[in-house]
Amino acid sequence: MSADLHTLTLAQMHSALQAGDVSSRELVDHSLKRIEATNPDLNAILQVDVEGAQASADAADASRSAGNAGPLTGIPMAHKDIFCTKRLNTTCGSRMLENFAAPYNATVVDRLNEAGMVMVGKANMDEFAMGSSNENSYFGSVGNPWNKEYVPGGSSGGSAAAVAARMVPAATATDTGGSIRQPAAFCGITGIKPTYGRVSRYGMIAFASSLDQGGVVAATAEDCAMMLHAMSGFDERDSTSADVEVPNFAAGLNESIKGLTIGLPEEYFGDGLEAAVGDAVQAGIKELEALGANVKSISLPNQHLCIPAYYVVAPAEASSNLSRFDGVRFGHRCEDPKDLEDLYKRSRGEGFGPEVIRRIMIGTYTLSAGYYDAYYKKAQQIRRLISDDFDKAFESVDVVLGPTTPSPAFKRGAKTDDPVSMYLNDLYTVSANLSGLPGLSMPCGFVNDMPVGMQLVGRAFDESRILAVAHQFQQATDWHQKMPATV
């Protein structure tokens, strides 16, 4: 069994630990060996904590022996390198924070530590979470485990690639405009972005504060449910944290979806969607109908405004958030500055990569005195219309379903010179962020030997429903069980 430990899901690892078939130390050592063997080709993990992981595994085994183990105790995982961790540097994939040692843990990190999970390392990411391909990391791009010449998606591409390659059974991730769901789709795994405010953003380095949300990537909806439960809950240190009850997401996974009404937005199945991707999603819809769900055509009339609204709001907030990285207080500082202006210019110019600079420039422009009303204010008004579209849809449907991305993963370098084409990968995902709604991507097929994802969007704080729909789908299909040849 030891040779195949990495192929177990998080839930299966829990069962094996409970049965005494394996120890946490065995799982963690196997994960570390898996990273050592597969990461050189993929560059998914930036830092590995061998000593800390082994010590945590031994502590988890001691807790289990004492009868104090929970569902996640002793299971290895990785954190996206946007979450502050005291044991390892937090780089955000940027030269700006290359040597940043956080003096505290993010709330998500503390909560998963308290649940007994074992951090084995930090996952690569697009710099400051800006990107749809994980080609924007200062530490090099990430390969897709299904074909390393292809991108894994972004910005949580390192987390998704690490899970798809079975280096770890699950990883934390963040989603500002699709950065959990898009890489989950490209890598053939499951990823959930919860409702805005469900998971604390304390210690999660900000890109766009009104859009960012932490979540999970894992092999299955069941795994996501188990980990999300431990991560969620009110945090007084985060002013955007929602003080709402956290249900046991795993407890409702087996609820029947018979009679559930699924809304299919006509805007998701038109121009821009590759035909083969649409066919895979339609096949997935038929599976859900066979399970007793009802399907209804709906309209989200302002869907075409999602991308332009998002790429005004997100860069504007990024411009504000990243102004703190000035070479004075922390972060990269240029050598031998001539004066304060030179310090600012060269520190930021050297510390930030081209995509981050591009978005800061766009955001600064849209927030400037002469253009604030014309751009940022207008984008926020459009955002309200997009949210209203979902409110109206949920009057007659229980969940909204569509493709996660317009196409499967593309080759590395294929879109680096065309930012607009790259941004259109977020076509179906940004609306959930603009509306603050939970969204989940699950695998539903393949196109040209690369995975395809299907997206579910639910009502605010109704993660339980979309997790249950995904779980029922995964009980009836085996797309989530497919693994890259290298696994």
Q: What is the pLDDT along the chain (487 residues), one digit of tens a residue?
A: 477 999 999 999 999 999 999 999 999 999 999 999 999 999 999 999 999 999 999 999 999 999 999 999 999 999 999 999 999 999 999 999 999 999 999 999 999 999 999 999 999 999 999 999 999 999 999 999 999 999 999 999 999 999 999 999 999 999 999 999 999 999 999 999 999 999 999 999 999 999 999 999 999 999 999 999 999 999 999 999 999 999 999 999 999 999 999 999 999 998 889 999 999 999 999 999 999 999 999 999 999 999 999 999 999 999 999 999 999 988 899 999 999 999 999 999 999 999 999 999 999 999 998 888 889 999 999 999 999 999 999 999 999 999 999 999 999 999 888 887 788 888 999 999 999 999 999 999 999 999 999 999 999 999 999 999 999 999 999 999 999 998 8
Q: Which of 472, 6, 429, 362 has its CA nearest to residue 177?
A: 429
3-state DSSP assignment of residue 296: strand
Exposure class string for 282-301: b at 16+ Cβ within 10 A, else e: eebbebbeebebeeeebebe
Ramachandran sector of residue 348 (left: φ over 0; alpha: ψ -120 to 50; beta: rest): alpha
Q: Which of 407, 470, 465 is nearest to 437 (CA)?
A: 465
Give the whole-angstrom CA distance, residue 205 versus residue 209.
9
pTM: 0.96
How far is residue 199's CA from residue 193's CA, in Å, rounded to a whole number? Answer: 9
pLDDT at 416: 83
Which has the closest alpha carbon to 351: 84, 82, 92, 94?
A: 94
Give 436's DSSP letter: T
Write the pLDDT tens digit of every residue in 167-207.
Answer: 999 999 999 999 999 999 999 999 999 999 999 999 999 99
Give the residue from 148, 144, 141 showing the smallest Cα distance to 162: 144
> Domains of the chain (ranges plus CATH)?
2-259+399-481 (3.90.1300.10)
> Which residues are the active-site residues?
80, 155, 179
Tokens 């102004």 belong to 323
Q: Quick: pLDDT tens for 10-69.
A: 999 999 999 999 999 999 999 999 999 999 999 999 999 999 999 999 999 999 999 999
User: What DSSP assignment string belongs to 341-381?
Assistant: HHHHHHHHHHHS-HHHHHHHHHHHHHHSTTTTIIIIIHHHH
Name the token pair of 478. Answer: 């085996």
Token pair belonging to 175: 């989603």
pLDDT for residue 262: 98
Whether the CA torsion 264, 215, 160, 221 is positive or negative: it is: negative
3-state secondary structure (DSSP) of residue 238? coil
Phi, psi (deg, nearest 5) at residue 434: -60, -30
Diameter of the chain measured on Cα atoms: 70
Token pair listed for 423: 């941004």
Strand (E) or helix (H) holding 213:
strand 213-218
Find, among 167, 159, 109, the residue nearest to 137 by Cα. 159
Structure confidence at residue 304 (pLDDT): 94
Virtual torsion, Cα 168, 170, 172, 175, nearest 10 deg: 120
**For residue 155, is the peptide bond before it cis, meaning its omega torsion is within 30 degrees of 0?**
yes
